[in-house]
Amino acid sequence: FYDIYKLDVVVIPTNKPVIRKDYDTILFRTQRAKYNAIIEEIKKLHQEGRPVLVGTASVEASELLSRMLKMAGIPHNVLNAKHHEREAEIIAQAGLKGAVTIATNMAGRGTDIKLGPGVAELGGLAVIGSEHHQARRIDNQLRGRSGRQGDPGSSQFFASLEDDLLRLFNYERMSKWMDFLKFKEDESIQGKMVTRTITNAQMQVERNHFGIRKRLLEYDEVMNHQRKAIYARRRSALFGDRLQVDLSNMLLDLLTAIVSRYSRPEEAEAIVYECVRTLAFMPQLSPADLEPFQPELIAEKLHSQALAFYRAKKDRINRLIYTHTSELVRQFPEAQWLQVDFTEGTLRLPVVLSIPDILRTEGRSAFIEVEKTVTLSQIDSLWVEHLRQLDDLRHSVQTAVYEQKDPLLVYKFEAFKLFQAMVERLNQQVLSLLFRIEIYEERQAVQQQRRSRDLSRLRAQHAEDYYFTQTASGPTSPQYEAVSISSGGEAAPQPPLSRRERRALERQQKKRKGR
């Protein structure tokens, strides 16, 4: 127990000395002979007036014994989790004089069977085990239902060579030994040797189970180290204690990884393009800045520029939210929470902000909540995906034994590579979102203004191309579109070009290039 769970085990003595009699196991050649002997034993104890508790390893075995007892005319109760509504009533009657109860391993556990009047003088509760279990602990739990708190009692186990435990271990040797002694089907043997043989078989099963649990623990230990690292980062994002430091370190790691892909000063433009593609941030970088080419120094220079860009963006969004919140509070003085939708162009991320915190910090706490929300969402989604990959990896590495390799070592190596890739992907996705994210309404307005400017250029180009086309082809009746001018002197927004207009514009541009 200590090897696996690193916990000490303390044996607590019983309140009163145990006076229960535990008899040696009775062994038969077949299960049919075993069950017949169990029925005969129940008959004898029932005639003596002692309550009997029969333990079985399965529901099927309990139902088989129940049918055999009905044929023998012995009244009994069955406790096999199929009659859970009567479980308390059956347990209350199990210690009465002449009561017979059949129970599975799980049914009725954790309850004491109290002896009825006069039962202690008859010898107490008699426990009969119809089969030895693979774990000695379960056998001891069945025995322990009798002789509690110093009461008298007895326990007797029956076994056969056809039981699962003996079929797996020592079946052939004991079968040959019984054949040599010419045992008949209904004959049995009982003694210390039989009990010791069954106990050794149980210990061998327990050793196998211990090896399996220890192996599983070694696999889980790999995941546990990764879980601690991820949960530490998640706790930092949740409480915000070290979030700014973590984001700064993530940014430096990401920029170092970007710079490490290149090795020459002439590739400055490629580094700038990678920063724009990943972070929507254009650094000031020239080939002269990369001489000599030292990735660490270049990454630190990019890091300082990126931090300045990011802080300016944070200040702008914080001021915008603070201004909007101040106006909102003047209209709704009792408002406590404010939901602000953010987007990076494809996703829409709602963030709930505390209005008193925004007012108290003059907006500085607003974007901190955005950082928390983005970091937590990315950690959770990527960690769930990583756990699925580890589960698939655990099953796939078992084939490494065919290559004369230890599957556990292969699992540790591959799991570490998966974790590194997950952390790199986490850093990139979190920073990419934070650098690109804007307030949803503001981004929509900026995109609308950009579309309006592009549309104005298209229409001006369209009018110019139409004029030159009409001049070159001769006088016709030109059909110009009316352009309305607003009071401020600017052209009012026009409806978008139709498909026919766009195609005509493309043909006219091709003709101009041909001329």
Half-sphere exposure of 124 (CA within 13 A, CB side): 22
Mean pLDDT over residues 69-75, rounded? 94
74 against 468, higher pLDDT = 74
Whether the pLDDT of residue 59 is over 70: the answer is: yes
Arch. (CATH architecture) of 243-438: Orthogonal Bundle (1.10)
Residue 449's pLDDT is 58
Sheet of 337-343: strand order equals: 348-354, 337-343, 438-439
Residue 126's pLDDT is 94
Residue 182's pLDDT is 74
Q: Three-class SS string for 279-306?
A: HCCCCCCCHHHHCCCCHHHHHHHHHHHH
Residue 464's pLDDT is 47
Please report which confidence band the pLDDT of residue 186 belongs to, taking 50, 70 and 90 as the band edges: confident
Residue 155's pLDDT is 94
Measured CA distances, 236 to 100, 230, 253, 385 (Å): 61, 10, 18, 21
Whether the pLDDT of residue 135 is over 90: the answer is: no
265 against 447, higher pLDDT = 265
Please tell me the pTM assigned to this model.
0.62
Residue 467's pLDDT is 40
Residue 292's pLDDT is 78
Report the alpha-carbon distance of residue 502 to residue 504 in Å, rounded: 5
Whether the pLDDT of residue 382 is over 90: the answer is: yes
What are the tokens at 320? 């915008």
Region of poorest pLDDT, from 329-343, 366-380, 474-488: 474-488
Please report which confidence band the pLDDT of residue 500 belongs to, taking 50, 70 and 90 as the band edges: low
Mean pLDDT over residues 375-392, rounded? 93
Mean pLDDT over residues 369-375, rounded? 91
Domain residue limits, the chain: 17-190, 243-438
Share of the chain above pLDDT 70, in %: 84
Give yes or no on whether 17-190 and 243-438 have one common fold: no
Residue 45's pLDDT is 94
CATH topology of domain 17-190: Rossmann fold (3.40.50)
